[in-house]
Every structure is written in C-alpha cells, then in structure tokens.
Amino acid sequence: MSLRNISFVFLFVCLSVAAFGQGDSPSSAAPHHGMMRLWGMTSDQRIDRALDTLQSTLNLSPSQVTSIRQLAQARRDSFKSVREQAKPKFNELMALLKQPNPDPAAVGRIVIDLKATHEQARAKQMDLEKQFLALLNPTQQQIVNNLRSQAQTFVALRALGMLGAPGFPGGVSTSNLSPGGGGNPDTEY
C-alpha cells in the first residue's frame, strides 16, 4: 500500500470516525472550532429542542416523544463508547504520522482498526434508525423518508450559501460563523 493510498484511507477514516458523535458539546468544540466540534455529544437540551420540532412536524404522541427521547439518549451513550474506543487509536495514528518516516504497516493496522470501529458505528446507527422508524406510524414514516430524500439538496444549497439558517433571510450563509467568530456554540451550522 503506497503512502498516498494510506493518506487517502486515513483521511476518509478520520472524517468518518469524527462524524460518529455529532453534537454540540461546547467544551469539545472550543479547541478547533470545526473538526473537534464533531466529537461533541448531543445534550439533553438539544434532544429536547429537536423533539419539540419533531413533535410539531410529525404530530408525535406523548408516548412517541418519550420513546424517541430514550432512543436519542441511548444513541448518545452508545456513540460515547464508540468515540472512547476510537480516540486512543486515532491518537496513536496521529503520533505515528508526526514521525519523519512513519511505519506504513503500523499506520495501515491502525487505519484498519479505525475502519472496523467506523463499521461498528454505522451498524449501530442503522439499528437505531430502524428502531426510530418503528416508533412512527406510516404517515410519519413517509414524512421522514421525504425529508431524508431532500437532505442532499438541502446540504448542497447550504454549502453554496443559497439557503441560510432561519433568522438569516435572503440566503445568508452561516457556514463562516464559528463558536469563536461570534456564532452560538450551541448551534450547529
């Protein structure tokens, strides 16, 4: 495996592993504004805000809200353990890559370990999504599936700055705001 291929796999794995625990922990967001923010965990307040939105959008029953809250909290706890499992491997990889001539075999082993951790997280996420959909009635499931199919378009519009966040009329992009640059650290852009 060439160093270029290892670098590509490493970048892919790092970005994938970092995406495991997306959330809004200000303490984890502060050091690097972007990449470290992804390692944050979803707070109970953020779960409650999301549930308020889902309750009105999907017309959730009180029992659905309670079940989804429990599922979100279980997801948070589950991904915390995955993140804790990946962090030492990631740190070891970073230490190796800082060396003048990192051992490609050692780097490759760690990348493969991180890939396995990533696959474990993907499997957990898929299981949680199935559990979530099982809590919804067919009409609610259809709304969620419609939103899922529109997500790529939404992300593309936001990336181009053509769709701003609520409170920023006229398509003003908030992507250049960061917790250190005047943005709200509890808001994910």
Average pLDDT of adjacent 10-residue blocks, the chain of 189 residues: 47 45 38 38 87 93 95 92 91 94 93 92 93 96 92 90 67 41 38
Classify residue 144: in a domain, yes or no.
no
> 97: which residues sit within 8 A by CB, 6+ positions away?
10, 107
Q: CB neighbours (10 Å) of residue 51?
A: 17
What pLDDT, on the 0 to 100 scale, is given for residue 42?
79
Q: How far apart are CA 61 and CA 137, in angstroms?
A: 10
> 60: which residues sit within 8 A by CB, 6+ positions away?
51, 54, 68, 140
Classify residue 186: in a domain, yes or no.
no
Classify residue 128: in a domain, yes or no.
yes
Residue type, 17: V
Residue keyed to tokens 């509890």: 186
Torsion sign over Cα 36, 39, 44, 45:
positive
What pLDDT, on the 0 to 100 scale, is given for residue 39?
41
Classify residue 172: in a domain, yes or no.
no
Classify residue 168: in a domain, yes or no.
no
Q: Count of domains in the chain?
A: 1
Classify residue 171: in a domain, yes or no.
no
- SS3 call for 31: coil
Q: How far apart are CA 44 and CA 23, in angstroms?
A: 11
Range of the domain at 56: 3-137
Residue type, 28: S
What pLDDT, on the 0 to 100 scale, is given for residue 139?
95
What pLDDT, on the 0 to 100 scale, is given for residue 165?
65
Classify residue 147: in a domain, yes or no.
no
Q: How far apart are CA 180 and CA 174, in angstroms?
A: 13
